[in-house]
Structure 1
Amino acid sequence: MTTGEERRSGRERALDYLRTVVLSDPTVEGQFINEQAIATEVGVSRTPVREALLILSSEGLLQLVPQKGGYVPPLSSREIRELMQLRGVIERHAADTLKSGAETAEVMQAVLDEQRALVADVASTGRDFIDLDRKFHQVLVDAAGSSLLSRTYDGLRERQVRVGVAALDAERERRSSVCTEHDAIVKAVRSGKAAAAHKAINAHLEKTLAALLSA
């Protein structure tokens, strides 16, 4: 019987691996992607890997250099600022339009509880924490009930994870601060007051931006 993994095209598998594993790793910045290494890891030929790189290049996630392949440029301070600005626009809009503040806050609280558990876990990695961080904010965005908005926010994933992991690896204490800031967002969302949610979201993103620029 053919499994779901086998039914996925080689390009889809390579694209997923590049997005979730390679491009979310801070150490890949400033490096060229080894096509053969990716092909071997995914279990495909180099052709679908090249196709995946073309897609990622069209999305601005890497640059294709003749004779050398895919290059992952470091995110500039301007790009990081723009990333945080876009996050703010989307998250504040979600806070304005979500269907149920109480239900949304309950789900966000559950994710926050997982994050707090990681703060005390010395074996946890920055990637573990940031994966939950993305989940926390995605819950808020998804609660707005707009598939387009959710897809747009999810499209920021690789950049968010990469810069987020780098910041946490540079400053482990940031984990506790993030949980405190997330707690304020949960309380504001639960209250149903958009102005309070905006204030909490803005405060969190401003502190996150400061941490990212100092990493």
Structure 2
Amino acid sequence: MTKVERSQSFPSTGRRAEAAQDVVFRWLKQHIATLPRRDGVFLTEAEVSQATGTSRTPVREALLRLEADGVLQIVPKKGAYVPPVTEADIDAVMQARGLVEEWCARRAAGLGAALAEQLDELVARQAAQKDDPVAFIESDREFHRAIVSAAGNPVLAGFYESLRDRQLRMGAYALTTSGRRIDEVLAEHAAIVAALRMRDGERAAEAVARHLETTLAALRLPAMPKWGRPPS
């Protein structure tokens, strides 16, 4: 079991239970994103409560939410287990993403400029979040979710959501493998948007495929010492 560091305090005076739970949920996602990919880690309610400055109730609720998302598993009398991310996990998730996202890009291309404008805003938001890995990944998630949603298949959208929830640590890890990866992601997203703006479904699917291929390659590289920056 590793010790959970107290990175910041969240006073609970006057806060509604829902808001406190959201604060803990956000803190846990950020903390889990920074955990070594190949390590399994136990988190306890007491540790998380101390680190976030909240009571155990919102901690417990936040852990249950993350368990439902497939991020961790609650083990009675031991805590919440965050499993390692294996090579098999990575391959399975990326293969599934390719099947869903390429099909959805072809379907969504018919929306043209309307979808492209929405995605432009998300790319701009990502560009402003280069120093915040969790925020950057959340915007990345919104970008890909928007394309899947635009395809208009709610069954695929629901399945895709379960895939994206499993990628918290994968996404953070991929961004740490190269000092250039953040800018590469932004450029790859821009290429997808350009194809969608032209209503070219095949080109959009190809741009998505290239983006996922480079992401998979990044996931197989060793991480750099610092988030988003080359070693000094």
Please give the TM-score of this superposition, normalised by the length of structure 1.
Answer: 0.77
Distance 2:94 2:53 in 1: 32
Question: Which 5+ residue runs of structure 2 have no aligned equivalent?
Answer: 1-14, 223-232
Partner residue in 2 for 1:170: 177
Paired residues in the alignment total 205
Change (3 A) 1:17 1:127: closer
Distance 1:135 1:57 in 2: 21
Distance 2:129 2:63 in 1: 33
Q: Equivalent residue of 2:95, what SS?
A: helix
Distance 1:197 1:167 in 2: 22
2:192 aligned with 1:185, yes or no?
A: yes
* Root mean square deviation of aligned Cα: 3.1
**Contact persistence 2:45–2:56 (CA under 8 A):** no
Q: Equivalent residue of 2:151, what SS?
A: coil
Partner residue in 2 for 1:77: 87
- Of 159, 166, 178, 1:159 maps to 166
Distance 1:82 1:42 in 2: 37
- Give the Å deviation of 1:172: 1.9
Distance 2:155 2:28 in 1: 19
**Contact persistence 2:24–2:59 (CA under 8 A):** yes
2:40 aligned with 1:30, yes or no?
A: yes
Change (3 A) 1:129 1:58: closer
Partner residue in 1 for 2:54: 43
Change (3 A) 1:9 1:164: closer
Distance 2:155 2:23 in 1: 24
**Contact persistence 2:25–2:63 (CA under 8 A):** no
Distance 1:42 1:148 in 2: 39
Change (3 A) 1:146 1:18: farther
Please give the TM-score of this superposition, normalised by the length of structure 2.
Answer: 0.72
Distance 1:133 1:51 in 2: 26
**Contact persistence 2:67–2:74 (CA under 8 A):** yes
Question: Which 5+ residue runs of structure 1 have no aligned equivalent?
Answer: none
**Contact persistence 2:69–2:162 (CA under 8 A):** no
Point out the structure with the larger helix share: 1
- Of 95, 101, 110, 2:105 maps to 95
